[in-house]
Amino acid sequence: MIKLQITLTDEENKLLALRASILGYDVTKYTKFLLAREAIEGRSEVPVFTATAGMEQAIKEARKEYRSGKIKSWPIK
């Protein structure tokens, strides 16, 4: 578990408190709810790309070279 500390303006606090009270939450509980919901919804937004056959082969060769010690880090182009 971690502790997260944020600073809100009075206006931000009032807006969050208003919305939280509608749901029967305090600002802290409502903010945790918002963060969790955003994290869950954001999971589906991660782009997924299909590698071409040539890319797959290059990845396999690079992994083999890395495991054999031929290269110490992944080259970035």
Query: With b meaning 16 or more CB within 10 Å and e meaning fewer, what string describes 41-53?
Result: eeeeeeeeeeeee
The pTM (predicted TM-score) of the whole model is 0.53
- Note the pLDDT of residue 74: 62
The per-residue DSSP string of 9-77 comes to -HHHHHHHHHHHHHHT--HHHHHHHHHHHHHHHHGGGS---PPPHHHHHHHHHHHHHHHHTS-SS----
Q: So what's the pLDDT on residue 44?
A: 73
pLDDT in tens, 22-52: 999 999 999 999 999 998 887 777 778 899 9
Residue that the structure tokens 């994290």 belong to: 39
Provide the number of structural domains found in the chain. Answer: 1
The whole-number average pLDDT for the span 53-62 is: 92
The better pLDDT of the pair 62, 12 is held by 12
In a domain, 55, yes or no: yes
Residue 66: per-residue pLDDT: 85
Q: What residues make up the domain containing 53? A: 10-68
* Residue at 5 is within a domain: no
